[in-house]
Structure 1
Amino acid sequence: MSKGLHMREVTMYYAEGNNQITALDHVSISVEPGEFVAVVGPSGSGKSTFLSIAGAMLKASEGDIQLNGNHISKLTEKELSNIRLHEVGFIMQSSNLVPYLNVLDQLLVVKRMAGTIKKEDKVFAIKLLEELGLGLKLKSFPEELSGGEKQRTAIARSLMNNPNIILADEPTASLDTKRAHEVVSLIAQEVKSRQKAAIMVTHDERMLEYCDRVYRMYDGGLSLAES
């Protein structure tokens, strides 16, 4: 079984009136466990569509997507929902934390969505948060956290179900330079130590030093950037 994320000749069309818009144009990429790659490109180049397809939120018009050995283009909606819950960890532009949950419960709610919360889940959540420097913030609510702390909570939450794929969508958009470096270096560190396949979509060229490879996206096409 092929681990990681493998997309081959993936194309996405949208109908707009009588026209057919190509959002993704024969995109191919492979990301193995322990690899952290970046995708950069201007607004409207197809990055959001690419990430939605990679994360099993959107079905491609053509092509093959393997996510940790699952050919996701052949799965039902229920199976895709299961894949999103157990195989993919998402880190969004803004941390997307639930306002009325404290830091520890932000992680435990992921387990509740997947079933029940066991004692070992709580132990794992606390260990994750301590690793990411949030050990003293377990009972804090989002409004009491700095921007960097919110994003670190979001990183911990993305790892809570021990997924095989991490997808980060502009994770530094709301952070200053120092916090941005902290957050992306933390993502890179977790990807390496936990052997996750990870893709970060970003406009922030300063963050590319943490990535193993950089791809550029233009008009729905994806190509490896020259180093």
Structure 2
Amino acid sequence: MSGIQLHHVSKQYKEGHSIVTAVKEVSFTVNPGELVAIVGPSGSGKSTLLSMIGALLKPTSGKVSVNGQDVTTLNAKQLADFRLNEIGFILQSSNLIPYLSVYDQLILIKKMSGKLTKNDQQYAVELLTELGLGNKLTKMPNELSGGERQRVAIARALFNQPSIILADEPTASLDSNRAHEVVKLIASEVKKREKAAIMVTHDERMLSYCDQVYYMEDGVLSIQSSNESRIK
């Protein structure tokens, strides 16, 4: 089954003699082409949940499946390959490498692995052009605006053609106009490329771009609203 499925996922930590439950029995599904938002106060478990879906943290119990693959059964090497090939991460800071051009940000991993093809090079240019960066290919990160840097981060997340996109506060460092531009772009790319995507955000103005909104508090996830007016 494609997309993201969580089945009774929990995460517990030891703090001294007590056990803290950061995520409690979370179950939900995100289908290809859907952008789902998770909102809630700081410390509610949102980032912990995203880290488990992104194979950065292992659940204490429950099952995380991506495209039918049970992520919780993978060993360290398989997890590294899985993160590289199946997941596109977009973070609140664009995390661009300061000494690489816009174009080189995308092709770096393939170049380092010796697997860079002509098709890869062409796809990088096409993707950046599609995201409005066709005239910025040779620019360095310090020559870009905040919105442009986030668009490069979106292109980088899409470049390996992953199954899922995980965005953690992607608008935190942007002004209102650029924030709308970035989330609208994520939503349209998710739909066009049939990716299952989850966005953790504090910015409620961005929720109109999402297909479903969940609210998280004290590790418990609940449906906040269903968004009927979906962005096409």
Q: TM tier, shorter chain?
A: over 0.9
> Could you tell me whether the CA contact under 8 Å between 2:212 and 2:225 is conserved in 1?
no
Q: Deviations over 1:110-158 (max 9, x none)?
A: 3235552111101000000000000000000000000000000000000
Q: Aligned to 2:225, what secondary structure does the other structure show?
A: coil
TM-score norm. by structure 2 comes to 0.96
1:222 equivalent in structure 2: 221
Structure 2 unmatched ranges of 5 or more: 227-232
Report the residue type matching 1:53 in the other structure.
Answer: M
Trace 1:19-168 onto structure 2 (pairs within 5 A). Answer: 19-112=18-111, 115-168=114-167
User: Match of 1:210?
Assistant: 209
In the TM superposition, 1:168-187 aligns within 5 A as: 168-187=167-186
Output the CA distance in 1 between the equivalents of 2:114 and 2:34: 30
User: In the comparison of the two structures, how many residue pairs are matched?
Assistant: 226
Question: Helix, strand or coil: the match of 1:57?
Answer: coil
2:230 corresponds to: none
Shift of 1:225: 0.5
Deviations 1:79-118 (A, max 9, x none): 1111100000000001000001000000001323555211
**Paired residue type of 1:178:** N
RMSD: 0.9
Local SS of the residue matching 1:225: strand
Q: Which runs of 4+ in 1 moved over 2 A?
A: 110-115
CA distance in 2, matches of 1:85, 1:65: 17
User: Normalising by the residue count of structure 1, what TM-score does the alignment of the two structures yield?
Assistant: 0.98
Structure 1: which 5+ residue stretches go unaligned?
none
Matched-pair identity in %: 60
- Residue identity in the other structure for 2:19: Q
Other structure's SS at 1:78 match: helix
Q: 1:63: how far off?
A: 0.1
One-letter amino acid of the counterpart of residue 179, structure 2? A
1:195 matched to 2:206: no
- Residue 167 of structure 1 and its aligned partner are, at CA, apart by 0.2
In the other structure, the counterpart of 1:10 is 9
SS of 1:226's equivalent?
Answer: strand
